[in-house]
RNA sequence: GGAGGAGUGCCCGAGUGGUCAAAGGGAGCAGACUGUAAAUCUGCCGGCGCAGCCUUCAGAGGUUCAAAUCCUCUCUCCUCCA
């Protein structure tokens, strides 16, 4: 375990939005160092979707940092809570998920989460283990500890209440269940996104009420997506999935706007705080080329998710395509054979559509007129071009800078 | 149950009888530039072997030489009242 209190606090604090309360954290960490007794750091994940993206890894990274400092993670799979769905930030009730879906999601979710976490220091539990055994009486007991007024302090509930939108009583149960999770695992610290602040605080209150030491709530900011403004989300299409190919991740990270780069360093890497400050300074002063820092960022992220080998390969491929404008090594093949019926020639527009390079003839024509189409590096100028099929085998069809297909005719 | 409002291209949103394949923005794609797939600038952005034609403005009918625009019905959403 890291014995230096200052250092621990600095690492824990890196990138956080809020720590409630800092004072308590100092005491509890100091205590754990003296007694050599690792803290129990809780993180609850609701498997409501099968895949996670970098936005989800922000809290996972923080948890990993705790582990690297010598603490233990308690990862709670919210299989029970997922059925209801966290109403945080929601303006309406969300549809219930089936148990089957939840189990399936939980599987892929965990696999992806352990790309970040240290399994040796992770206790994995499902909250159905304790929640499903509560009797109605137990639940009444729990609900009596909370008030409607307190619930309505939460912004999204307040808005809905004022706006005369429905709030199901069940939705009030969500924060209570999450709070009870903290009691069940006796958490010392709970991590969550800023949207979780209310729920984390409820955990504190319930623990106090039930005679436990209240957990410290550590909240992390919401990660911006590749567009640099909206939060990262699948539906906005600005996400980087942890299961994407390394080369894809590399490119996507390189495409984030420069001004959110330091946020990415703080939230997605586990570099030492001094290193991050240095990078930040360099960028501010303009003394270092931002693209070099961004390359480093891309490599680190791929290293965490895959390996340093994969990171290196991804970077090489990136250079190949963008720096030297060459053709990458592994190109998706496209079998033309099935698409042709007895003809010996094919119209270039048709070839583009058949290979999936263009959605319609119109788009194909457009691409040609914009000078975006190349065959083996040679620009196609004429949209009426007819090609001998036999001459096309293994030729590289290119659209724009970064889309390649190898044509196979055998 | 009653009164009123709204539904337009991937998204937001203008358009109230012809000049509308439909302004503007965003997203996307391409080109230039560069330090990158950043930023910036430019072009494209329904379909069709495309100087022409075809199908679009919630859905179905109707009026008209002509409809996103007018009428009728249906569906969906919102606001107010009970």
pLDDT attached to residue A96: 56
A157 touches strand B (CB under 7 A): no
pLDDT over threshold 50, residue A216: yes
Among A209, A149, A147, CA closest to A182: A209
User: Which residue has tokens 């979710």?
Assistant: A109
CB contact at 8 A, A395 and A375: yes
Could you tell me the distance in Å between the CA of residue A278 and the C1' of nucleotide B11? 40
Alpha-carbon distance A70 to A318, whole Å?
37
Mean pLDDT of A205-218: 90
A389 touches strand B (CB under 7 A): no
pLDDT over threshold 80, residue A277: yes
Q: Say whether A219 sits in a helix, a strand or coil.
A: strand
A366 touches strand B (CB under 7 A): yes
Structure confidence at residue A163 as a pLDDT band (50, 70, 90): low
Could you tell me the distance in Å between the CA of residue A236 and the C1' of nucleotide B27? 9
Could you tell me the distance in Å between the CA of residue A94 and the C1' of nucleotide B8? 29
Which fold is adopted by the domain A5-220? Rossmann fold (3.40.50)
On whether ipTM exceeds 0.85, the answer is no
pLDDT over threshold 80, residue A291: yes
CA–C1' nearest nucleotide, residue A283: B35
A258 touches strand B (CB under 7 A): yes
State which residue has its Cα closest to the C1' atom of B45: A363
Alpha-carbon distance A258 to A158, whole Å?
37
A254 touches strand B (CB under 7 A): yes
Could you tell me the distance in Å between the CA of residue A400 and the C1' of nucleotide B51? 28
Point out the least confidently predicted range of A87-91, A142-146, A240-244: A87-91
Point out the least confidently predicted range of A36-45, A263-272, A325-334, A365-374: A325-334
A298 touches strand B (CB under 7 A): no
Percentage of residues in chain A having pLDDT higher than 70: 91
CB contact at 8 A, A207 and A243: no
pLDDT attached to residue A1: 83
CA–C1' nearest nucleotide, residue A347: B49
Mean pLDDT of A177-187: 91
pLDDT attached to residue A326: 74
pLDDT attached to residue A92: 45
Q: Is pLDDT larger for residue A26 or for residue A159?
A: A26
pLDDT attached to residue A21: 85
A18 touches strand B (CB under 7 A): no
| Rounded to 5°, angle at Cα A26 from A22 and A31 | 150
A163 touches strand B (CB under 7 A): yes
- Domain A333-408 classification at class level: alpha beta
pLDDT tens digits along A382-394: 999 999 988 999 9
Could you tell me the distance in Å between the CA of residue A255 and the C1' of nucleotide B37? 5
Could you tell me the distance in Å between the CA of residue A365 and the C1' of nucleotide B70? 40
pLDDT over threshold 50, residue A223: yes
CA atoms within 13 A on the CB side of A226: 19
pLDDT over threshold 90, residue A368: yes
Mean pLDDT of A14-40: 89
Point out the least confidently predicted range of A43-47, A285-289, A309-313: A285-289
Could you tell me the distance in Å between the CA of residue A158 and the C1' of nucleotide B59? 38
pLDDT attached to residue A84: 62
Common-topology check for domains A246-323 and A333-408: no
Mean pLDDT rounded to a whole number for chain A: 85
CA–C1' nearest nucleotide, residue A163: B79
pLDDT attached to residue A145: 87
Q: Say whether A200 sits in a helix, a strand or coil.
A: helix
**CATH architecture of the domain with residue range A246-323:** Orthogonal Bundle (1.10)
b/e per residue A167-182 (b: at least 16 CB within 10 A): beeebbbbbbbbbbbb
Mean pLDDT of A326-332: 78
Could you tell me the distance in Å between the CA of residue A362 and the C1' of nucleotide B70? 36
| Domain boundary assignment for chain A | 5-220, 246-323, 333-408
Mean pLDDT of A266-274: 90
A377 touches strand B (CB under 7 A): no
Q: Is pLDDT larger for residue A298 or for residue A321?
A: A298
pLDDT attached to residue A164: 57
* Strand B nucleotides with an atom less than 7 Å from a protein beta carbon: 27-31, 35-39, 43-50, 79-80
CA–C1' nearest nucleotide, residue A294: B36
A356 touches strand B (CB under 7 A): no
Is the bond leading into A21 cis (omega within 30 degrees of zero)? yes
Structure confidence at residue A107 as a pLDDT band (50, 70, 90): confident
Point out the least confidently predicted range of A289-293, A320-324, A393-397: A320-324
pLDDT attached to residue A398: 93
pLDDT tens digits along A69-104: 999 999 998 888 877 655 555 444 445 567 777 888
Question: What residue ranges in A29-181 does DSSP mark as E strands?
Answer: 40-45, 72-77, 122-126
């Amino acid at each position: 375990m890291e014995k230096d209190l200052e250092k621990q606090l600095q690492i824990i604090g890196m990138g956080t939005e809020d720590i409630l309360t800092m004072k308590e954290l100092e005491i509890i960490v100091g205590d754990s160092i003296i007694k050599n007794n690792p803290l129990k750091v809780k993180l609850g994940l609701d498997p409501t979707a099968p895949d996670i993206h970098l936005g989800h890894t922000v809290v996972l990274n923080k948890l990993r940092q705790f582990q690297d400092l010598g603490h233990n993670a308690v990862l709670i799979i919210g299989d029970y809570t997922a059925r209801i769905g966290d109403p945080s930030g929601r303006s309406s009730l969300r549809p219930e998920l089936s148990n089957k879906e939840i189990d399936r999601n939980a599987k892929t979710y965990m696999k992806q989460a352990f790309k970040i976490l240290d399994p040796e220091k992770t206790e994995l539990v499902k909250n159905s283990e304790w929640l499903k055994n509560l009797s109605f009486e137990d639940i009444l007991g729990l609900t009596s500890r909370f008030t409607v007024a307190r619930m309505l302090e939460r912004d999204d509930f307040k808005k809905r209440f004022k706006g005369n939108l429905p709030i199901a009583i069940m939705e009030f149960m969500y924060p209570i269940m999450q709070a009870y999770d903290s009691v069940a695992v006796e958490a010392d610290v709970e991590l969550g996104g800023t949207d979780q602040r209310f729920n984390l605080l409820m955990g504190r209150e319930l623990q106090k009420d039930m005679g436990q030491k209240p957990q410290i709530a550590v909240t992390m900011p919401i990660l911006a997506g590749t567009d640099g403004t909206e939060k990262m989300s699948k539906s906005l299409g600005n996400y980087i999935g942890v299961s994407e190919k390394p080369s894809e991740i590399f490119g996507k990270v390189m495409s984030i706007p420069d001004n959110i780069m330091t946020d990415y360093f703080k939230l997605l890497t586990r570099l030492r705080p001094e290193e991050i400050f240095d990078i930040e300074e360099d960028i501010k002063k303009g003394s270092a080329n931002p693209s070099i820092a961004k390359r480093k960022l891309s490599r680190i992220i791929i290293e965490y998710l895959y390996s340093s080998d994969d990171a290196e390969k991804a970077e090489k491929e990136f250079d190949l395509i963008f720096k030297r404008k060459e053709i990458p090594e592994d190109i998706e093949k496209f079998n033309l054979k099935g698409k042709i019926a007895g003809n010996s020639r094919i119209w270039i527009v048709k070839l583009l559509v058949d290979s999936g390079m263009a959605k319609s003839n119109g788009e194909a024509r457009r691409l040609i007129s914009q000078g975006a189409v190349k065959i083996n590096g040679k620009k196609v100028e004429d949209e009426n071009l007819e090609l001998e099929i036999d001459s096309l085998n293994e030729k590289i069809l290119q659209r724009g800078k970064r889309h390649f297909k190898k044509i196979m005719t055998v």
